[in-house]
Amino acid sequence: MIKKGLALQVRQRAGDACEYCRMPQGARRLRFPIDHIIARQHRGKTSFDNLALSCGRCNRHKGPNLYGIDPVSDRTARLYHPRNDSWDAHFQWEGAFIVGVTEIGRATIEVLQMNHPEDVAVRIELIEIGAFPPAI
């Protein structure tokens, strides 16, 4: 169980946006869960440095995964780590689509399903009203 004060700190640090796909909390009805970047089953701690705000889709698909397969190189790559990696070093925007520019980025997009059609549709609507991408 994550204590309320710690959860608030994580949400504030994230600017109320998913730290993986950058979806703003306000674009979804359900409150975003807080993800253990390194899952507890892999000895990940419930600490500020191991927690990230995650939209429901990214959270469900990431689960306890630490690695994925890069669809370009077909090699195993670790997943993006919001505390240790720079988002801009692994991803870029092409309109409403997230594009991986590294093996880590591409593997993360695949595992987390970051370009799911429903999310892309929401991003298009947000872009049209000038509310996306969020500044994190």
Q: Is the pLDDT of residue 120 over 60?
A: yes
pLDDT of residue 29: 81
Q: Is the pLDDT of residue 136 over 60?
A: no
Q: Is the pLDDT of residue 128 over 60?
A: yes
Q: How many CB atoms lie within 10 A of CB 105?
A: 23
- Going by C-alpha positions, the residue among 39, 42, 109, 98 that lies closest to residue 71 is 109
CB contact at 8 A, 111 and 63: no
Residues 9-55 pLDDT 10s:
999 999 999 999 999 998 878 899 999 999 999 999 999 999 999 99
Q: Is the pLDDT of residue 69 over 60?
A: yes
pLDDT of residue 135: 61
For the chain, strand residue ranges (E) read: 34-36, 51-53, 67-69, 76-78, 91-94, 97-100
What number is the average pLDDT over the span 49-68? 97
What number is the average pLDDT over the span 61-86? 97
- Going by C-alpha positions, the residue among 31, 36, 27 that lies closest to residue 1 is 36
Q: How many CB atoms lie within 10 A of CB 76?
A: 11
What pTM did the predictor assign?
Answer: 0.93
pLDDT of residue 1: 73
Distances (CA, A) of 23 to 43, 67, 87, 124, 135: 28, 22, 13, 11, 11
Q: What is the chain's Cα-based Rg?
A: 14
pLDDT of residue 80: 98
